[in-house]
Amino acid sequence: MTEVRRLQPQFPTLERQRDADHFGMLIFLSTEVLIFGGLFVALFVLRAQHSAEYAKSSMEMHYWLGGINTAVLLTSSAIVALMVEAVKSGSARLAKWLLLAAIALGLAFVAIKFTEYALEYRDGVVPLLSPAHLRPGAGTLFMDLYFVATGLHALHVFGGMTLLACLIWPFGRARRDTSAVFAGNAALYWHLVDVIWIFLYPTLYLAR
Amino acid sequence: MKAVRTILVAWIALLALLALTIAASFAPLGPALPFISYAIAIAKTAIVVWIFMELRVRDGMQRIALATGFAWLAILFILLFADELTRAWPR
């Protein structure tokens, strides 16, 4: 990434090269949309076939923790968008502090998420591990899909934090790249993780 | 500075929509609730994609690149629910 500014032989101009970088990232993000799309479609079918049972399971979720987490993720996305602006205007130091803030919020998200998992373990609604109060059938399926979807999302949060951390070290020079190629692509990924959570929240927590 | 203001306004709008979606889930909306929830989620996504992901300043190719994922997802949803919702129909 230290060479993002250098023109590679296959591109006529730096601008074209930068567009190609973002283009590739957006295609990758499209495939991410489809990965989570499969899980969403499974949840929608479950909801269509077992509306009452689905709503009952959803109402047992800790919706306020999910709500706080949504706010945390939206805020960190805004900070990352500000970071890209800082990189573009050449303020590498400001960009570093914004990156640290965004990563801190990402860690807060994960901490809240795992607190929630612990509460669900205590409530006895975790399939296989603590199924004391788990309703068989649709209730169990709901919790299965809940853990797969939020677990996969949490993995993406870790991935996003790793990308953001790479902008601080070892690729710190990318922060001085005013065309914001690496910073812009890392930000795109972080925003997509945010978009996925925007849909997971009403699907899992707010079904009534 | 204008860009910073746009981002902050978008952030406030996103938090307002979050409050709205939580409030809506307690309103007696019945079967209309999912439609309202997902309308709000789509509005939030539009803000994130258009402002945070900067698609408002990107060229058409890049917008299509991201839209492709959602387009294929729409095909999956339409075909799957065409099956799912009509299964109980009399033969």
Q: Which domain holds residue B68?
A: 59-91
Distance CA B91, CA B84 (A): 14
Read off the pLDDT of each residue in A173-181 and give the average, rounded to a whole number.
Answer: 89
Residue A195 scores a pLDDT above 80: yes
CB contact under 8 A, B51 and A22: no
Is there a single domain that holds both residue B53 and residue B29?
yes
Is there a single domain that holds both residue B50 and residue B68?
no
Partner B contacted by A187 (CB < 8 A): yes
CB contact under 8 A, A33 and B25: no
pLDDT in tens, A71-128: 999 999 999 999 999 999 999 999 999 999 999 999 999 999 999 999 999 999 999 9
Minimum Cα–Cα distance from A206: chain B residue = B25
Minimum Cα–Cα distance from B69: chain A residue = A30
Is there a single domain that holds both residue B31 and residue B67?
no
Distance CA A176, CA A182 (A): 10
Distance CA A195, CA B31 (A): 24
Is there a single domain that holds both residue B7 and residue B34?
yes
Residue A9 scores a pLDDT above 70: yes
Work out the pLDDT band at A158, boundaries 50, 70, 90: very high
**Full-model pTM:** 0.95
Contact predicate A186/A171, CB 8 Å: no
Residue A1 scores a pLDDT above 60: no
pLDDT in tens, B5-41: 999 999 999 999 999 999 999 999 989 999 999 999 9
The burial of A137, by beta-carbon neighbours within 10 Å (0-12 exposed, 13-18 middle, 19 or more buried), is given as exposed
Residue A4 scores a pLDDT above 60: no
- How many domains, chain B? 2
Is there a single domain that holds both residue B65 and residue B78?
yes
Domains and CATH numbers, chain A: 14-204 (1.20.120.80)
Which tokens hold the place of A155?
A: 């993995």
CB contact under 8 A, B14 and A27: no
Is there a single domain that holds both residue B13 and residue B47?
yes
CB contact under 8 A, B34 and A207: yes
